[in-house]
Amino acid sequence: MVLIALLIALSVERLYHSPAFLHWAFYLERWQRWTSVKLKDEKWESDPLQLVRLLIPALGVGVLVVLLDNLMVTFIVSILALLLAFNCEPAREDYKAYLKAANRGDEAEANKRQLALTEFAGHHQPQQLSDSLIWINYRQYIAVMFYFVLFGSFGALVYATLRYAEKCAEKPSEEPNSNQPWQQLVWFADWVPARLSAFGLLLVGHFSRALAVWLPQTLNPQINPDKLLFDVAGKAEDSPQHTDDRTEHIACQLRLMRRQQIFWVCVIAVLTLIGWVS
């Protein structure tokens, strides 16, 4: 059931435009506004209680699935949870617009779209557009898939909630360093999935060349997950043949990430066949 739900959600998300109500952030924003009105006590502004407040919707979905204990309900909720958690439509639109602008030589529009993709990638502020796309692909798909396989729809929505909370903490209106607890929490949430994702890049790319980067960085517990992915991806894929082509390098990196996504779907399929994933 996990594999089928995953395949359906990935297919729907790729083939059809996602309306706003199919994004988990859509519901979290409304939940935030509603609870801000209802819970005016200052104690709810503390970081731990803000975390609890944000996690309540995901927890409610998990409790609902457990209480109903129905295979069909679990299956439908799993598909919906994945569609809500993937939420890559804005980045996809900006990427397509960037390619069109770059191909016609519109520097202003290309830079605007590149900035939008960098902001979508989050506080990591990667130096290259290819790094932004690698991080977006990991955050919106790979990490969600891992948490879904481990914890079902609850896991996928919890990760999407942490991702949303980190982005909210990055807003300029926040007080200095107020986002540190969120950054640390998401750092821990990405610790294992990022290493598994880097291992997938190793297998679907140039193994021998990327292994020299992957092994020492994976064994370093302090390394940031984004740096690990960027460094491994840079070695796992060939450099573009035409260095003046602004789109060739990022296309190579995207193909690498898509191969990795297919690889992990195949792994999940094998685990389903041998009975480790149901």
Choice among 120-129, 173-182, 215-224 with the minimum mean pLDDT: 173-182
Residue 179 in this model has a pLDDT that exceeds 70 = no
State pLDDT tens for residues 140-170. Answer: 999 999 999 999 999 999 999 999 988 877 6
Domain ranges of the chain: 2-273
Question: What is the pLDDT of the chain when averaged over all its residues?
Answer: 86
User: What was the pLDDT predicted at 104?
Assistant: 87
**pTM for the structure as a whole:** 0.90
Residue 68 in this model has a pLDDT that exceeds 60 = yes
What's the per-residue H, E or C state across the chain? Answer: CHHHHHHHHHHHHHHCCCCHHHCHHHHHHHHHHHHHHHCCCHHHHCHHHHHHHHHHHHHHHHHHHHHHCCHHHHHHHHHHHHHHHHCCHHHHHHHHHHHHHHHHCCHHHHHHHHHHHHHHHCCCCCCCHHHHHHHHHHHHHHHHHHHHHHHHHHHHHHHHHHHHHHHHHCCCCCCCCCCHHHHHHHHHHHHHHHHHHHHHHHHHCCHHHHHHHHHHHHCCCCCCHHHHHHHHHHHHCCCCCCCCCCCHHHHHHHHHHHHHHHHHHHHHHHHHHCCCCC
User: What was the pLDDT predicted at 143?
Assistant: 96
- What mean pLDDT is predicted for residues 129-149? 93
Instruction: Give the residue with greater pLDDT, 237 vs 260.
Output: 260
